[in-house]
């Protein structure tokens, strides 16, 4: 029936003629540093002019602070961790019966194009776009056919900040350096170059609007203009703070289609409604007159089928390229609450791609030299389990109110903590299942389908144990014992990782149970237990732990992700890895072809990094230090 509907719509364009066109003008790696948002250094006259014509959202959030999982949320209309696609990068299938939203638009007669970046983290069907390429354009549609067209502008991408040669236009002396970063020439230069790039992209966006209006389509075309996540500077991009998630977001509805506009829409208007990327798919479907499917997690903020305002927006951080992490955040617009499930790890783990930027390197060098203040050095130290910030009083998110004993902040923290847990339950956030174990269990099938029922994943139980394991304010090792004995591998994993996070006393108290987990069927369980015992086990337990770690670190034995998990542990164990440099130097440079193509290089990057630290020759045959890697990190 669906294919008959598509055929009818394409054969008879008038079937869908009474529909608005929808034009998306997206750009990359940019927080709301536009003139219309009050940034004095911004030179963005064209986006400012669009905001004068339309509505500017003050509190729009990308759900993820990096491109691929952010785009997962956009294209699926679902919380990426609910798809098992929260990592940078992954490649997983959607469950049967779920569609990327352009497929539904095409069924309704729309001509759908994407020019040109996808990066969805999801396996894509052949029915998503009429065309997705550098040549894709709305003008290739049939006469009278409504279009949904995306044009993505890469000029503000993180990589463009370090592009050389570049003659600065903006004055580095005038940029505002965030409180959490050191004020150095390198940092100022990178911020100034980002502002230069914004001005360039601003002109490109103007050209697209002019092209559409010159074609006589202005009265029938709704415009969305937004960035995919925060600015491509360290502690913005990749971190689920407001600095990494809040984006500029402008919508314009011509007079003919204002009945489909948001309730608070007006020219030169400002909306305080919280919206996020999971809301975009249901919103576009609603504008096109399509009732959003129930499997979408977002809520439409415009169109014929508007949803209820949730009043909160949610963010996440998973694996960033080769580095493992798990963080969730929630904002009500005024406050932001952050929950770290791996607080023993620093914010600033060594992500190879990020360290290609001068700002990152100088910041880290100053940390090693002990030349940073308390706000600047926090980025390189282990995290606090929880963070709470008042964005009105502390826009840089540096004064953690978790340590304030005032009753008002305690209540705010509790409300947001509960809201976050409820949302994770509602969406069945699979970030609490370690990635290698999830891949092992799903075995190429949809994570949504694999873990949709409680008999496959008793979600409330696993989430409760993940929160308890990562709560270092309760050091009693006896709390971990039931987890280590659990019949569920996901719970055993959190018991083992909780032992690592709580340290020597917890590991020694539970070392016999941990030793038993070195032979666990779950790859991530074995690795977590090995990390614990390699640090504080007996000599025999240490030796067995290193056998486990080295076997898992060899990508030829399993998956790239299992190898990455093990190599991250080996890196954290530091000098204890020196006796094993010969084995590390002989690791293969490529994972089996069964590993998702985009993540095969991550174990190699980690081995190259370890080679530099421990003094062995890095593996050859794969990209090193950014050379030859896929475009668009």
Non-local (6+) Cβ contacts of 285 within 8 A are 101, 104, 105, 291, 292, 300, 303, 305
Q: Average of pLDDT values for 143-150?
A: 98
Query: What is the phi/psi pair of residue 338, to 5°?
Result: -125, 130
Instruction: Locate the domains of the chain by residue range.
Output: 2-309, 327-414, 434-441+453-553, 565-633
Residue 422 has what pLDDT?
Answer: 98
Q: What is the CATH number of domain 2-309?
A: 3.40.720.10
Residue 568 has what pLDDT?
Answer: 98
Rounded Cα distance, 8 and 15, in Å: 8
> Does 299 score more than 70 pLDDT?
yes
Q: In this predicted model, what pLDDT tens digit does every residue of 311-363 receive, in sequence order?
A: 999 999 999 999 999 999 999 999 999 999 999 999 999 999 999 999 999 99
Residue 15 has what pLDDT?
Answer: 43
> Does 12 score more than 50 pLDDT?
no
Q: Average of pLDDT values for 302-309?
A: 96
> 3-state SS of 345-376?
CECCCCCCCHHHCHHHHHHHHHHHCCCCCHHH
Q: In this predicted model, what pLDDT tens digit does every residue of 209-229 receive, in sequence order?
A: 999 999 999 999 999 999 999
Residue 611: other Cβ atoms inside 10 A:
17
Q: Average of pLDDT values for 420-444?
A: 96
Residue 7 has what pLDDT?
Answer: 46
Strand order in the sheet with 386-390: 313-317, 327-331, 335-340, 386-390
**Domain made up of 327-414: CATH architecture:** 2-Layer Sandwich (3.30)
Q: Average of pLDDT values for 102-111?
A: 98
Q: In this predicted model, what pLDDT tens digit does every residue of 515-557 receive, in sequence order?
A: 999 999 999 999 999 999 999 999 999 999 999 999 999 988 8
pLDDT band at 103 (very low <50, low <70, confident <90, very high): very high
> Does 3 score more than 50 pLDDT?
no
Between 629 and 511, the higher pLDDT residue: 511
Query: What is the phi/psi pair of residue 209, to 5°?
Result: -65, -45
Contact assessment for residue 527 and residue 535, using Cβ atoms and an 8 Å cutoff: no
Among 31-35, 53-57, 460-464, 558-562, which stretch is predicted with the lowest mean pLDDT? 558-562
Residue showing tokens 């983290």: 121
Q: Average of pLDDT values for 116-121?
A: 95
Residues with catalytic roles:
67
> Does 631 score more than 80 pLDDT?
no
Residue 9 has what pLDDT?
Answer: 44
Q: Average of pLDDT values for 419-438?
A: 97
**Do 2-309 and 327-414 show the same overall fold?**
no
Residue 558 has what pLDDT?
Answer: 76
């Amino acid at each position: 029936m669906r294919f008959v509907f598509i055929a009818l719509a394409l054969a008879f364009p008038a079937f869908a003629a009474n529909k608005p066109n929808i034009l998306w003008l997206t750009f990359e790696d940019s927080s709301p540093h536009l003139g219309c948002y009050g940034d004095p250094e911004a030179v963005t006259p064209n986006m400012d002019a669009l905001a004068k014509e339309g509505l500017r959202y003050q509190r729009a959030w990308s759900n993820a602070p990096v491109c691929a999982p952010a785009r997962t949320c956009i294209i699926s209309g679902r919380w990426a961790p609910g798809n098992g696609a929260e990592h940078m990068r992954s490649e997983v299938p959607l469950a049967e019966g779920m569609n990327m939203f352009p497929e539904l638009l095409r069924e309704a007669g729309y001509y759908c194009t994407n020019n040109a970046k996808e990066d969805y983290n999801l396996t894509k069907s052949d029915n998503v776009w009429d065309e997705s390429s550098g040549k894709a354009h709305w003008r290739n549609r049939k006469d009278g056919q409504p279009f949904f067209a995306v044009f993505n502008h890469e000029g503000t991408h993180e990589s463009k900040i370090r592009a050389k040669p570049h003659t600065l236009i903006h004055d580095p002396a005038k940029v505002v350096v965030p409180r959490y970063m050191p004020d150095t020439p390198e940092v100022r230069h990178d911020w100034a170059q980002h502002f230069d790039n914004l001005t360039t992209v601003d002109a490109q966006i103007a050209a697209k609007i002019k092209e559409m209006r010159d074609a006589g389509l202005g009265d029938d075309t709704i415009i969305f203009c937004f960035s995919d996540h925060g600015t491509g500077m360290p502690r913005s991009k990749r971190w689920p703070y407001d600095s990494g998630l809040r984006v500029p977001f402008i919508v314009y509805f011509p007079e003919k289609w204002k009945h489909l506009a948001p309730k608070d829409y007006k020219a030169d208007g400002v909306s305080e409604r919280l919206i996020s990327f999971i809301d975009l798919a249901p919103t576009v479907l609603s504008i096109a007159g399509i009732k959003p499917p129930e499997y979408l997690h977002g809520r439409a903020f415009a169109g014929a089928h508007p949803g209820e305002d949730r009043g909160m927006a949610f963010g996440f951080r998973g694996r960033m390229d080769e580095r493992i992490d798990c963080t969730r955040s929630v904002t009500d617009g005024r406050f932001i609450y952050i929950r770290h499930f791996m607080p023993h790890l620093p914010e600033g783990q060594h992500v190879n791609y990020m360290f290609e930027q001068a700002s990152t390197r100088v910041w880290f060098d100053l940390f090693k030299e002990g030349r940073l203040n308390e706000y600047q050095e926090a980025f390189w130290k282990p995290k606090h389990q929880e963070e709470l910030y008042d964005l009105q009083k502390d826009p840089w998110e540096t004064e953690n109110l978790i340590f304030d004993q005032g009753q008002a902040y305690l209540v705010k923290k509790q409300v947001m903590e509960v809201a976050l847990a409820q949302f994770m339950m509602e969406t069945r956030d699979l970030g609490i299942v370690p990635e290698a174990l999830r891949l092992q269990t799903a075995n190429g099938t949809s994570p949504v389908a694999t873990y949709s029922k409680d008999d496959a994943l008793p979600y409330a139980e696993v989430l409760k144990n993940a929160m308890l394991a990562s709560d270092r304010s309760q050091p009693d090792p006896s709390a971990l014992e039931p987890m280590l004995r659990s019949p569920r591998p996901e719970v055993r994993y959190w018991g083992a990782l909780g032992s690592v996070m709580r340290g020597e006393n917890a590991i020694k108290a539970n070392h016999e149970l941990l030793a038993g987990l070195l032979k666990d069927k779950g790859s991530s369980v074995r690795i977590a237990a090995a990390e614990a015992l390699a640090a504080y086990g007996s000599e025999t337990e240490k030796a067995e732990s290193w056998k486990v770690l080295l076997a898992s670190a060899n990508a030829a034995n399993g998956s790239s992700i299992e190898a990455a998990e093990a190599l991250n542990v080996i890196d954290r164990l530091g000098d204890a890895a020196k006796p094993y440099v010969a084995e590390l130097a002989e690791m293969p440079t490529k994972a089996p072809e069964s590993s998702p193509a985009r993540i095969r290089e991550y174990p190699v990057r980690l081995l190259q990094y370890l080679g530099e630290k421990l003094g062995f020759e890095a593996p050859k045959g794969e990209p090193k230090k950014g050379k030859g890697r896929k475009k668009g990190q």
